[in-house]
Structure 1
């Protein structure tokens, strides 16, 4: 039996021929719908450490009745013949069994490659945060990581589209911090400390909006996430943490610092409020500082490139080098141009002369 993670299955499956394989996954949710003919069917969402997918169970299929009896959070092994089209994965001749014992524990341990990447990314985040020079922002970041680190490491960056997996927020923030560091080097007018900590906190409300339980890969819903959204939640969290660190003994040394602490707090809150870049995309404020503009574009760039990476892996190739459009990207994708790799002979001929002087 061939085993795949969800992400690997999406990469391998195409329209034809079917791939016979098994995938271990957790039942995240299901909703009952109706066909145009009025027949019921289920849309079942399954997830693992690498991602999620929807599977339609028609009323005359054995999976329809079986899924109705499975509680959310049930972990199963789905063995099927898999294909994939523009609407997602399809499984034919599906059989299933619930995981128990060592198989279940191995599933909860997650994909080893994903876990290692997220460990390195978390190290990137903590290293950048520890290197911030502004003592107010340094203390704020430390308090956040110390108090909410485990919750942070479980959160996704989105419910779908990009980094929509357990730990995805860590991957997203780490890559944005790398880009922010480079941007601050290229544009010295940027406040590097403010930009880095703005990246750290820009999506901190997703600790409630896109959170996972301590055990498992099914992304849940919370009233706070649904009723407020991650931007108001992020502003509220930063204000709460700011009050906490302002009451610490070390805060008395901040009184003579310039820029004033209140200005630092306000600029950080502005980064959170404006990072979506436009009112129509949910920002309560438009970017009004260099750091806000930089953060918005860094955020958008990382999200878009992650979407493109997934699209190349999952989309059908409809012609040579052309891939079927994947929502929310605007058009069909074209295979990227590989980097030039000079053959050894050409490389040697192009080497600069060493005897000019």
Structure 2
């Protein structure tokens, strides 16, 4: 292992590398001749890179699993606009002498400050019953700890620890600022919906080591999990206040969660049917897309080109300009 760590963001086309990464995903695939090869997704705090290892066997790859730290030896190459590693050796290494922070991407913003911003906005809601419900979420220490550390996605937008909190706080600031422009949108409901819309991701994803989907996440998904969490906290707030929670308010909150993807094709079981729901959908999409565009440009290894490579996910190239 090299003395000075080579991070993903520093890798160059053509270099030989021997380094330790976190194995995010491991897939054995067969080529046209039915020979097995390894497709490994690896990560450190600066980014993700794929590794390919030819002519492997199930037995030889049984020693490594997603979530392991692995030492790899191989050659970096540029393929279809992205760097990858052609791996010649991969072995599991003990994590005892490794610094966990080398492998966990985190928000560049101060998480405790973001959390205070979030609490300030939610406790500023002037509908007393809705504010009481928000307080029930905020006093759940385990939930808020997970919420503070969760990414907003495994690979796409805000895919780093604290990413979900960063995404939600930015949406809250946007929602707050449009309040005067759109008086027909209930700002109280919209702020609560912003907080709740992705809250199910704390159970949809595992993010202690590699960012992966839990069984609950794969089978149910964060929209339905979010509705379950609302039901749980509504029952709690009714017990604490000894008053029934308004039925319509609960319905409107659940609708915000279930419709925020905006289209059936994108996984929403319901289309937005309230002013708050359509506002949340577009604010959410706006933040996610701008963030993804900016990261794609920032992370592009082709420094000489004015354009990024074609992105199948975005269905386009992105213009970087001459600088």
1:129 aligns with 2:96: no
CA change 1:50–1:114 in 2 (3 A) is farther
1:53 aligns with 2:49: yes
2:310 aligned residue: 325
With the length of structure 1 as denominator, give the TM-score of the two structures: 0.77
CA contact (8 A) 1:315 1:325 kept: no
C-alpha separation in 1, matches of 2:250 and 2:219: 25
State the secondary structure of the residue aligned to 1:287.
Answer: coil
Contact 1:50 1:114 survives alignment (8 Å): no
Out of 222, 234, 239, the position equivalent to 2:231 is 239
Residues 245-270 of structure 1: per-residue CA shift (max 9 Å, x gap):
11113x54xx7xxxx82221111111
After TM superposition, list the pairs within 5 Å mapping 1:141-180 onto structure 2.
141-147=134-140, 148-180=143-175
Q: For residues 280 and 138 of structure 1, what CA distance do their matches in structure 2 show?
A: 33
Give, in whole Å, the separation in 2 of the partners of 1:26 and 1:41: 19
Structure-to-structure mapping, 1:1-357, within 5 angstroms:
2-6=4-8, 8-9=9-10, 13=12, 17-19=13-15, 24-59=20-55, 67-78=61-72, 81-86=75-80, 88-92=82-86, 98=93, 100-107=95-102, 110=104, 114=107, 116-147=109-140, 148-213=143-208, 216=209, 218-249=210-241, 251-252=242-243, 261-315=246-300, 317=302, 320-335=305-320
Highest Rg: 1 or 2?
Answer: 1
Is the alpha carbon distance of 1:150 and 1:188 closer, same or farther for their aligned partners in structure 2, counting shifts above 3 Å? same
Alpha-carbon distance in structure 2 between the residues aligned to 1:327 and 1:121:
33
User: What's the offset of the Cα at 1:298?
Assistant: 0.7
Deviation, structure 1 residue 168: 2.4
Name structure 2 gaps, 5 residues minimum: none
Provide closer, same or farther for how the CA distance between residues 41 and 290 of structure 1 changes in structure 2, counting only shifts above 3 A. Answer: same
Over aligned residues, Cα RMSD in angstroms?
3.1
TM-score (norm 2): 0.84
Shift of 1:124: 2.8
CA 1:21–1:134 in structure 2 vs 1: closer, same or farther (change >3 Å)?
farther
Structure 1 residues 69, 131: closer, same or farther in 2, change over 3 A? same
Identify if the C-alpha distance between structure 1 residues 91 and 238 changes in structure 2 by more than 3 Å, giving closer, same or farther.
same
Query: What secondary structure, in the 3-state scheme, does the structure 2 residue paired with 1:186 have?
Result: coil
Distance 2:175 2:86 in 1: 46
Distance in 1 (CA, whole Å) between partners of 2:136 and 2:20 is 37
* 8 A Cα contact 1:205 1:230, kept in partner: yes
- Displacement of 1:20: 5.7
Q: 1:93 to 1:57 in 2, by over 3 A?
A: closer
**Whole-angstrom CA distance in 2 between matches of 1:302 and 1:237:** 24
Change (3 A) 1:49 1:169: farther
The farther-off stretch of 87-96 and 192-201 is 87-96
- The CA deviation string for residues 113-163 of structure 1, in whole angstroms up to 9 with x for no partner, is 636544443333233223222222222222223321122223322232222
Going by fraction, where is helix more abundant, 1 or 2? Answer: 1
